């Protein structure tokens, strides 16, 4: 029971709208954001994981191995995001 008005209208398969943001021209910004989000979730999930090796539950500063290895990747992600902003300005 579609009205005749709706029957005659065609819906385009592809959108003609193209949005360009500064983020799309900043090389490395999305990669940095991906690293930060992924490793932040990993740090959180590692809290609830069952330890696979005894004695490594509190490896460095109360963090287990997975959490400690995620910290450098978070820092690398921050570096990529900051570096991409500097590159666009110059």
How far the first Cα of the chain sits from its last, in Å, is: 59
pLDDT in tens, the chain (90 residues): 555 555 555 555 555 555 666 666 678 888 999 999 999 999 999 888 887 777 666 777 888 888 889 999 999 999 999 888 766 555
Tokens at 63, concatenated? 């963090």
Running DSSP on this structure, what letter comes out for residue 51?
Answer: P
């Amino acid at each position: 029971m579609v009205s005749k008005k709706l029957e005659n209208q065609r819906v385009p398969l592809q959108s003609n709208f193209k949005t360009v943001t500064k983020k799309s021209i900043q090389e490395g910004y999305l990669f940095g954001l991906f690293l930060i989000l992924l490793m932040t979730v990993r740090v959180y999930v590692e809290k609830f994981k069952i330890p696979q090796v005894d004695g490594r539950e509190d490896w460095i500063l109360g963090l287990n191995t997975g959490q400690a290895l995620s910290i450098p990747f978070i820092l690398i992600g921050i570096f990529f995001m900051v570096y991409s902003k500097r590159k666009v300005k110059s």
